[in-house]
Structures are given as C-alpha cells and as structure tokens.
Structure 1
Amino acid sequence: MKRIFFLLFLALCAGNVVAQSNDSIPKLDPKTKNALNVADQMAYQAALRYNDMEMAKIKLYDLMVRNPEDMRYMEALGSLYFESGLNASAALVAMDILKVNDKNVGALEIAAYSLEQLGAFDRALPYYESLNLLTGDNFSLYKSAYLQFSLKRYAEALNSVNMLVKNAKPDEKIGFAISESETQQVSMKAAALNLKGLVYLDQNSKAEAKAAFTEALSLEPNFNQAKENLQKSN
C-alpha cells in the first residue's frame, strides 16, 4: 500500500514538471498540426481494433501533448487505463481532468472507483460525494455511505444511509458477491438497511443493528449478508 501511494506522489510531481514544460513545445502551423492529428487518430483507432493497448496509449499521449486544450484525449486515456484495470494511472488522469472541469461525471466515476480499489478510501470518498451531488445517483450515495462507515465516520454514514432508505427506488438493485463467480442482486433499500445495521453493530449497538438487519430481511428474505449479520447481532 505504501508503494502505491509513493507512486501516486511521484506521478503527481511528474505532472507538475510536464505542465511547466508545455510552454517549450514547438508551435506547429495549423495545416501540419491537423495532418499529424489525423494520422495519430487513425493509428489510435487501428491500435484499438487490433487490441494493441500500448500503441493506443502512445498515440493518445502524442495527441494530448499536441492538443493540451482538447480534453477528449485525456478522457480517452483515463478510460483506457480504467478498462485495463490500471487503477493508479486511471485515478491520476481522472484527477487531472477534474482540475480543469470538476463536474466531469466520467472522471468523477473513474477517480472514485479507482481510488477505492487502491484502498485510498479517504481520497475516494469526496469524489463519490461529488458524484451524488451532481447526479443524484443512489449508487454513489451508497458507496459514500459505505466508505464513511469504513472510515468510522458513523454520523455521516447514518445520515447517508437514512437518505438512501428514503430515496431508494423500488426497482434499484445492487450486487453482493456470494462466491468468486456469483453475485446476489438485492434492492438498494435492503442494502442500505444492511449497511445501517453494520454501522450500529460496529458501535456495539446490537438492538439497533438487529432491527436494521431484520428490516432488510423483510424486504429481501434471501439476502445472505443480512442473514449472517443478523446472527452477529444476537
């Protein structure tokens, strides 16, 4: 984990160096610049077609350096890293995009999820919170509540959970892993109540925890995780 954060620090420092060196890039005449852009875009598309992700990334870097004002290339690079499971790189690209446009929904999603996967819960949380404020999406509210709970910010977690219980739509589902290859889909409201129970259980408030788990099971009788948690609250 320390190595991951050290690499993130080095990459952030490197970003400052790149930003400072942009002024030294030779200016191209519009015709030459356009021709190079077209060639690199064609090469990028060909690299994607042939599943050559390394070449695709190289071409995106060339396009980014030549067109620093065009965020499409940075967005494509972030998505490429994200889809390849390169969470540290994806997070760094997304955070750079958000410095330019803090309402970029795609970048918020990538930054939040990638940082969470890296175990940087305290850094992922603000992005999930921003995503929820911007979109009203209940999944991002659930993730916010879960990270608040994980960080032992219990009052905030309960506030988020209570909002979710109130606002969850009947057709909203969320998946819980029950094996390496299977997930169980349960209603968002039941998931929120299960998380509410976990918050209370972590504070040793077993009566409140039991009530929350029981309510979750009244909505989803086969909810495996809620069943296991209910046993812990007895």
Structure 2
Amino acid sequence: MKRTFLLLLLAICAGNLAAQTATDSIPKLDPKIKAALNAADQTAYQAAIRYSDLEMAKTKLYDLMIRNPENPRYMEALGNIYFDNSQFASAALVSLDLLQGNSKNVVALEIAAYSLEQLGALDRALPHFESLYLLTGDNFSLYKSAFLQYNLKRYEEAMNSVNMLVKNSKADEKIGFPKSQTETQEVSMKAAALNLKGLIYLDQNSKVEAKTAFNEAIALDANFVQAKDNLMKTN
C-alpha cells in the first residue's frame, strides 16, 4: 500500500505538465467532424457499459476526454469506473486532475476522498471530506471528517466535528457499523457521533467522559454493539 501511494504521489507531480502538453498538441477539428466522432464514441461507450466491457468503455472515455477537455463529465465517468473496480490509485489521479480545474466538483471530491482513504492516505483524504461537507452539508461527510481527524490524532478538530454532528444530525439519518464478521447494523448518526466522542475521550484517557458518551450512544440505540464493546473499555 505504501508503494502504491508513493507511485501515486510521483504521478501527481508529473501529471499536470504532461496533461497540459498533451492538450496543447491536439489539432482543432471541424465542429461537424468533432460532433460526429463524439456521437460515435458515446454510442460505443454506452454499448460497452451495457455489455460490461470496461476496457472498451475506458478507451472511449479517453477518446472523449482528449477531444473535449472542457467537458468534465467524461473524466467523472472514468473516475467512477476506476473507483467501482477498486483501482483506487487511478481513481484518485483522475479526481485530483478534475479538482485542478474545479475545486468544487462534488463528484471529484467524493472520488478523491474515498480513493485516498482506501489507499491509506488519510491526511490527504481528510481535506476532501471537509470540502464535501462545506459544499453539501452532508452529515456523513462530516462524520468521515471526524473519524479521520480522530485517526490522525487531531483530537480538538475531531471533537468539534463530533459536537456539530450531535447538534445537527437528523433523527432519520443512519450509518452502518459492523456487528460481527458477517453482519452489519444501522444506528442513528447521533449515536455514531456519541460513540466516536467516547473514543476520542478514551484515547486521551478521560474514562469518565468516555463512559458518559458511550452510555448516551446506547441510550439512543440500545443494540449498538460497538458502543457496548467500547463501554467495557472504560471499566
């Protein structure tokens, strides 16, 4: 995983100049010819997706991207294909290039955040989750931000995020947690936030405060397995 991320960083450093050089060297096409080529490639791409021929789909997206550098939707589709097939380094590179052009591209932010997290680059994933929350107000992005802040031992930031979640989470918002090796359970976002609050306190050896937070989480979701397990660590 470390080698993969090192290669990713090297690719990021080299990528912008190479992409700019390649774009500058593309000859201008007659608009009618360009429209006809675009239509043919889009039809081929849709057929490739229908028949699960992902290599052909990616090839057609590359053709469309090169011919239409001003249109981000082809890169977004390519990034999604890479991400959906667990090619996280490629997905991250595509999304980071998209963000160079538009730092508020929500699709690119999502791909970048989750891809970098999967690669173990938590410090690089975190700003993208934070940006997602600021742009969309999505509490799951705020929870992911808090969780990464906690893992990076940025406890003050994590606690601020958790307190925002406790205050602003809606009653119908749910989040999945592993219940066992084969089962998951859904708990309320507020209970999840309180459980994370307890973990932050526990990491700082504040067991009384941690116990209170875990008990509050369990009071909201009586069957919250992780909160019950964490509560036992406060004894």
Separation (CA, whole Å) in 1 of partners of 2:222 and 2:228: 8
**167-176 or 8-17, which moves further after superposition?**
8-17
Partner of 2:152: 151
Between the aligned residues of both structures, percent identity stands at: 71
Separation (CA, whole Å) in 2 of partners of 1:23 and 1:110: 27
Aligned-pair CA distance for 1:72: 1.3
Question: Which amino acid in structure 2 is aligned with residue 195 of structure 1?
Answer: L
Partner of 2:109: 108
Question: Which amino acid in structure 1 is aligned with residue 157 of structure 2?
Answer: E
Partner of 1:99: 100
RMSD: 1.1
Aligned-pair CA distance for 1:128: 0.6
**148-157 or 181-190, which moves further after superposition?**
181-190
Separation (CA, whole Å) in 2 of partners of 1:67 and 1:74: 10
Partner of 1:84: 85
Q: Determine whether 1:226 maps to 2:227.
A: yes
Aligned-pair CA distance for 1:18: 2.3
Separation (CA, whole Å) in 1 of partners of 2:158 and 2:55: 41
Q: Are residues 180 and 52 of structure 1, via their aligned partners in 2, closer, same or farther at CA, if it must alter by over 3 Å?
A: farther
Separation (CA, whole Å) in 2 of partners of 1:180 and 1:106: 31
Report runs of 4+ in structure 1 exceeding 4 Å deviation.
none
TM-score between the two structures when normalised by the length of structure 2 = 0.96
Aligned-pair CA distance for 1:10: 3.3
Aligned-pair CA distance for 1:155: 0.4
Q: Are residues 134 and 14 of structure 1, via their aligned partners in 2, closer, same or farther at CA, if it must alter by over 3 Å?
A: closer
SS at match of 2:205: coil
Describe how 1:140-219 pairs up with structure 2 within 5 A.
140-219=141-220
Q: Determine whether 1:4 maps to 2:4.
A: yes
Question: Which amino acid in structure 1 is aligned with residue 159 of structure 2?
Answer: L
Deviations 1:9-37 (A, max 9, x none): 23221342122232112222112211211
Partner of 2:44: 43
Partner of 1:126: 127
Q: Which runs of 5+ in 2 are unaligned?
A: none
Partner of 1:137: 138
Q: Are residues 15 and 54 of structure 1, via their aligned partners in 2, closer, same or farther at CA, if it must alter by over 3 Å?
A: farther
